[in-house]
Amino acid sequence: MEEEGNETLDFICSANELPFSQTILESLDITGIFLFAIMTLMMLTANLVFVEEVIYIYWKIPPSKRSIFIWINAAAPVIATTSCIGMWIPRSTMFTDFTAAVFFAIVIHKFLLMMIKECGGQKLFLRHFENDQFKISTGPCCCYCLCLPNIHINRRTLFLLKLGTFQLAFLRPVLMFLSIVLWTNGNYSLSDLSPNGAAIWINCFVGILTIIALWPIGIMFQRVRVLLNCKKIIPKFALYQFILILSQLQASIINILAMQGVIACAPPLSSSARGAYMNQQLLIMEMFLITLISRVVYRKRYDDLELPECSGQETKGNNQDRKIGLGANIIGKEVPAILVVGPGTDDKSQVLDKLKEYVALMSNKFGRKQILRTDNRDEYLFSATQQFLRK
């Protein structure tokens, strides 16, 4: 009997196959059941917090930033959800890991777009940094290559930065699809890292693509971190880095330890299966904490400003430029925000004509009637003006 038990134990530890969910559930003791319940509760709480955050973003964040903020905030809950599914159904681990990896590849690209959006969009970003340069000797590629020259900030360099992150968002799903196709044919196995297996080559290629995608993020962050300090860009960048390290590097380290036998076999889990099991539980706890912290960091109402609020002098200058006096012509691409009616204007009909012209331009620009506000002075108010304002 003991020999048969040892043979079964050796077979499980050498097979490197993931058990069925029924086998896992039958082997759980009271502690294991309690741990599964806590992990599942953390995952559900993280998703509820995310749903509440989506509602907040929908009502408080300008439309141009909503989708980007939702994508970035969804990274931690999605990884927690895929990890929880992999914990309950071990044989789905490869697919849940692929799903989380593809989603985070898109988040990397979205984070670069968020930094540009926080600067007012591409046009205002280029206008603000038109005389500056990008420092490209930064991590993770060239942090030690101090001899690299700086590059001017223009449309071409900004396009190349976007392309650097977009290539990962595009190629990562393609490589994951290729991995699944090879897996169905028996040519791909996560535990087979020999030169003859496909996993080692695909993983190395994905690693190179990831490093290339992280480089534009570092370049952009070095340029905008001072300007966007009031937008909490440093805590946002730190959260993004934590998700990257915990979801990518942590899994690789645990997988290496399992392959070297440091993580012992514990039936019904082999060494590699137990390593994946541990990584999933750690990710659920880590992503739960990151979701709570993200709710605090991103829970701020933003205004659509031409430049961030922290650049006080330039924003103030832009607001002054958008005022227009009564005697000026309201013509141009930018509709003024303030119509100034000052001393020296005696003709009330002239005020009404300019007011009508201003309202017409605002309606053409925004496609709807705008709310007009005054300083409550009535020296230019007469019956025709009152009738127009009632409409």
User: With helix as H, strand as E and coil as C, how does the chain read?
Assistant: CHHHHHHHHHHHHHHCCCCCHHHHHHCCCHHHHHHHHHHHHHHHHHHHHHHHHHHHHHHHCCHHHHHHHHHHHCHHHHHHHHHHHHHHCHHHHHHHHHHHHHHHHHHHHHHHHHHHHHCCCHHHHHHHCCCCEECCCCCCCCCCCCCCCCEECCHHHHHHHHHHHHHHHHHHHHHHHHHHHHHHCCCCCCCCCCCCCHHHHHHHHHHHHHHHHHHHHHHHHHHHCCCCHHHCHHHHHHHHHHHHHHHHHHHHHHHHHHHCCCCCCECCECHHHHHHHHHHHHHHHHHHHHHHHHHHHHCCCCCCCCCCCCCHHHHHHHHHHCEEECCCCCCCCCCCCEEECCCCCCCHHHHHHHHHHHHHHHHHHHCCCCCCCCCCCCCCCCHHHHHHHHC
Question: pLDDT truncated to tens, each residue of the chain (391 aa)?
Answer: 445 445 455 545 665 677 788 888 888 889 889 999 999 999 999 999 999 999 998 888 888 888 999 999 999 999 999 999 999 998 888 899 899 999 999 999 999 999 998 888 888 888 888 777 777 777 666 555 666 677 788 888 889 999 999 999 999 999 999 989 988 888 887 777 777 778 888 888 988 998 899 988 988 888 888 888 888 888 999 999 999 988 888 888 888 888 777 887 777 777 788 888 899 999 999 999 999 999 888 876 555 444 444 444 444 444 444 444 444 444 444 444 455 554 444 555 666 666 666 666 666 555 555 556 555 555 555 566 666 666 6
pLDDT of amino acid 48 = 96
pLDDT of amino acid 88 = 92
